[in-house]
């Protein structure tokens, strides 16, 4: 009798465990906890090396990037004004510039943001200023400038949002931004050490796998994947955890400060447990503007210039920056 009760109790407990684990918050999926190797090995950018063990707790993550429709709901509920919709505070801006920087004309301090603008011909790929321009009036409602809008694009990821904007949305939604370690673990979808979130197969024009650039960057996009800029969420296959667009479409904000050397500070033998990133950002290429981590690449990524649709790829972006290829998704602790 005792054995039957014990077995029965185990059955009830097991059934309840399965029930509670299945109750994911709406629009989120569970990312199982455990240990994985973070970063790249071999011939990869220095800031992705060395690959090292990391252990994280299970958590929830949005299955898609936050959409225009969801962000509009947040703005309607809170009257929130994004960074790109506010005039630029010169005294605040100068803190992130070299000490001898001159104050720009007032019209350059008007609300606006950075917009990708294709070139008309091939250009050197070491000067991103050739295809980015500051556009007054560009913001999440008008991603390419005042003449553009998001009508009919409710299911596209919201862009032109700063790190602060992303944090504000997450707090309103009762969530948070993922850490960089959580993001990479989720992007890998359960695959260990593969080059891409789907395995080793290199994207092609006929089988792009994600919303990335086809053709010749940055002047000719054949739109082989069907999209010149952002794509609606869920247009490409989900990864092994059921997450969409972890490669391409838009870069995604993470909670961590960006340091180029953070991986070299970790023990290559002992797993870092739930790392939350450094206490401050550092990038010798941008010494006056510490960045927050962005992950996943975007519709602008091409193997000739930016193969950042790899799970291990990372970069830093100033947290007050909005661009036409940066968005985010939320996480939530279990």
Mean pLDDT of 70-82: 98
For residue 6, what pLDDT band results from cuts at 50, 70 and 90?
A: very low
User: What's residue 205's pLDDT?
Assistant: 82
The single-letter DSSP state of residue 4 is H
Cut 0.85: pTM above it: yes
Q: What is the pLDDT of residues 107-153, one digit of tens each?
A: 777 899 999 999 999 999 999 999 999 999 999 999 999 999 999 99
Cis check for the bond before 328: say yes or no (omega within 30 of 0): no
Q: Is the pLDDT of residue 11 over 80?
A: no
Could you tell me if 58 and 241 are in contact, meaning their C-beta atoms sit under 8 angstroms apart?
no
The two three-digit tokens of residue 319, written as one number: 């947290």
User: What's residue 14's pLDDT?
Assistant: 38
The two three-digit tokens of residue 90, written as one number: 């010169």
The dihedrals phi and psi of 19, each to the nearest 5 degrees, come to: -65, -50
Calpha distance 219→131 (Å, rounded): 9
The two three-digit tokens of residue 273, written as one number: 């447990």
The two three-digit tokens of residue 29, written as one number: 């999926």
How does 4-17 read in b/e, with b if 16+ C-beta sit within 10 Å? eeeeeeeeeeeeee
Q: What is the pLDDT of residues 20-53, one digit of tens each?
A: 455 889 999 999 999 999 999 888 999 999 999 9
Mean pLDDT of 213-222: 95
The dihedrals phi and psi of 52, each to the nearest 5 degrees, come to: -150, 155
Could you tell me if 96 and 316 are in contact, meaning their C-beta atoms sit under 8 angstroms apart?
no
Q: Is the pLDDT of residue 154 over 80?
A: yes
Calpha distance 295→164 (Å, rounded): 16
C-alpha pair distances (Å), 14 with each of 17, 21, 24, 91: 5, 11, 17, 59
């Amino acid at each position: 009798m005792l054995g039957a009760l014990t077995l029965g109790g185990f059955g009830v407990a097991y059934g309840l465990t399965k029930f509670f684990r299945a109750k994911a918050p709406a629009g989120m999926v569970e990312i199982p906890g455990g240990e994985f190797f973070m970063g790249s090995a071999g011939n990869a950018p220095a800031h992705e090396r060395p690959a090292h063990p990391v252990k994280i707790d299970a958590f929830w993550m949005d299955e898609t990037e936050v959409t225009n429709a969801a962000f509009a709901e947040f703005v309607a509920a809170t009257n929130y004004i994004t960074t790109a919709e506010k005039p630029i505070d010169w005294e605040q801006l100068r803190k992130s510039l070299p000490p001898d920087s001159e104050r720009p004309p007032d019209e350059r301090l008007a609300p606006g943001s950075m917009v990708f603008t294709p070139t008309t011909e091939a250009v050197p790929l070491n000067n991103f200023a050739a295809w980015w321009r500051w556009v007054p009036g560009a913001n999440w409602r008008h991603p390419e400038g005042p003449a553009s809008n998001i009508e009919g694009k409710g299911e596209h990821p919201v862009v032109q949002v700063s790190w602060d904007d992303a944090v504000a949305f997450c707090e309103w939604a009762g969530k948070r931004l993922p850490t960089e370690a959580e993001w990479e673990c989720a992007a890998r979808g359960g695959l260990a050490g593969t080059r891409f979130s789907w395995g080793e197969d290199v994207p092609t024009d006929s089988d792009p796998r994600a919303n990335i650039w086809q053709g010749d960057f940055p002047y000719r996009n054949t739109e082989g994947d069907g999209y010149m800029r952002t794509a609606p969420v869920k247009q490409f296959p989900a990864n092994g955890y059921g997450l969409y667009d972890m490669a391409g479409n838009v870069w995604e904000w993470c909670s961590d400060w960006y340091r180029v050397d953070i991986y070299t500070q970790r023990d290559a033998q002992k797993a870092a447990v739930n790392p939350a990133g450094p206490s401050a950002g550092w990038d010798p290429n941008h010494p006056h503007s510490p960045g927050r981590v962005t992950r996943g690449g975007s519709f602008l990524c091409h193997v000739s210039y930016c193969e950042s649709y790899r799970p291990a790829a990372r970069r830093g972006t100033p947290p007050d920056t909005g661009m036409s290829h940066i968005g985010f998704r939320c996480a939530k602790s279990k």
